[in-house]
Amino acid sequence: MIAFNYEIDFQLESEDKTANWIQNCIEKEGFELGEINYIFCDDDYLHNINVEFLQHDTLTDIISFDYTLGKLVGGDIFISVDRVKENAKEFNTSFENELHRVIIHGILHYMKYKDKTEEEKQVMREKENTCLNILNKN
């Protein structure tokens, strides 16, 4: 089950389409959908979580808490809509594209993809692009 929660005045255009896409990406990787909660918020909200739970005094676009058990993918994913907007401008892409990239990025972490090294970042980006292509075909 995928739930979308909003701590700000923001709403996904199509929750059902987004949820189906996420589930499709999970299943294509050989995993199973568990319980995933997305919380869309602003910079201040996510900054407070970053400081309180991770002891990082920085802004970020996403923080995910992973509850995946084996192949059952689950967790809480907090996304700063403010950061996504800024990143879209910086990376010269649409807000929607950047938002979907961030949405699936958290899920890929749950499926054990990492992004600390350059090689890991490259694999992560390829997986993000594969999932974005699935979304764009629908």
Distance, CA of 59 to CA of 69 (rounded, Å):
29
Cβ distance 84 to 98 under 8 Å? yes
Name the token pair of 66: 């992973």
- Does residue 47 have a known ligand-binding role? no
- Does residue 100 have a known ligand-binding role? no
- Does residue 109 have a known ligand-binding role? yes
Place of tokens 């084996």: 70
Neighbours of 118 (CB within 10 A): 8
127: left (phi over 0), alpha (psi -120 to 50) or beta: alpha
Distance, CA of 93 to CA of 11 (rounded, Å):
20
Distance, CA of 5 to CA of 52 (rounded, Å):
20
Residue numbers belonging to the annotated binding site: 105, 109, 115
Residue numbers belonging to the annotated binding site for Zn(2+): 105, 109, 115
